[in-house]
Structure 1
């Protein structure tokens, strides 16, 4: 299992059903980077508490609002027109790559604050704080376990 957050997130996202579930949760308002970080913290056995979660949200919320979401909105807004316009399709792919790079940077920032948090024997239920859908939580947790 990868130890850094980006590699862990990439590994989990590539597992069956995870991309579809994450995109659905994202459409419902979830921050997928924060969800994947929470999953990483669960895997590392870091106990969830309100203060730690707020630290992560303090990093994730502004970055999502100011950087990732505007790129995503631009990319999605160009989807239809780019089908018939090769130049716009090329630019849309560049925006998509920039959006992914912005998400990768967010994961680096989240890891930077969370990597020093210590493992514990206490309950580590991070996903319960972020996802109400039990099936989605189970799928994400299964994805974090090596095949």
Structure 2
């Protein structure tokens, strides 16, 4: 198991099916940084509570809204035009790098927010993925099950 959230996310994201699952969940409006943090906490058997869920959402939310999402929207908006414009394609690559850097900042902030959180008394107290998905109004789906299976293969 990795000892920091960024490395954990890189490892998890590289597992078969995880990238596609994360992009699908992102398209459904879920914050992938929060889901990956939830997976990390779940694997570490950290106790999950509504208070902790809200703390994580409050930590990630402003940065996601003000930094990550505008960069992502710009990158997506430029996709078609960049296919025929070399200069725009180069800028789009730089925007993508900034988006990834911004997500790294979110993950570092989330990790800092969890310092000192205690372990769960039982496995039932640490189903972070389900609770995180439900907290934003999304029930379990195929993509979430793919993510859960990747975690369990570790």
TM-score by length of 1: 0.94
Tell me the C-alpha RMSD between the 2 structures: 1.3
Q: Give the counterpart of 2:140 among 125, 128, 133.
A: 133
Q: Which runs of 4+ in 1 moved over 6 A?
A: none
Displacement, 1:134? Answer: 4.5
Aligned residues between the structures:
147
Between stretches 122-131 and 105-114, larger displacement belongs to: 122-131
**1:8 positional shift:** 0.3
2:117 aligns to what SS in structure 1?
A: coil
What pairs with 1:1-147 in structure 2 (closer than 5 Å)?
A: 1-122=1-122, 123-131=125-133, 132-145=139-152, 147=154
Please identify, of 117-126 and 127-136, the stretch whose mean Cα deviation from structure 2 is larger.
127-136
Residues in 1 aligned to 2:132 and 2:24: alpha-carbon distance in whole angstroms: 14
- Distance in 1 separating the partners of 2:46 and 2:26: 24
TM-score, normalisation: structure 2? 0.90
8 Å Cα contact 1:30/1:130 also seen in 2: no
String of CA shifts for 1:1-43, please: whole Å, max 9, x gaps.
Answer: 2120000011101111111111011000000000000000001
Q: CA deviation at 1:98?
A: 0.2
TM-fit CA distance, 1:105: 0.5
Unaligned stretches of 5+ in structure 2? 134-138
Contact 1:47 1:119 in 2 (8 A): yes
Structure 1: stretches of 5+ with no match in the other structure: none
How far apart, CA to CA, are the structure 2 residues paired with 1:111 and 1:104?
A: 10
Q: Secondary structure at the match of 1:45?
A: coil
Return the offset for 1:84: 0.7
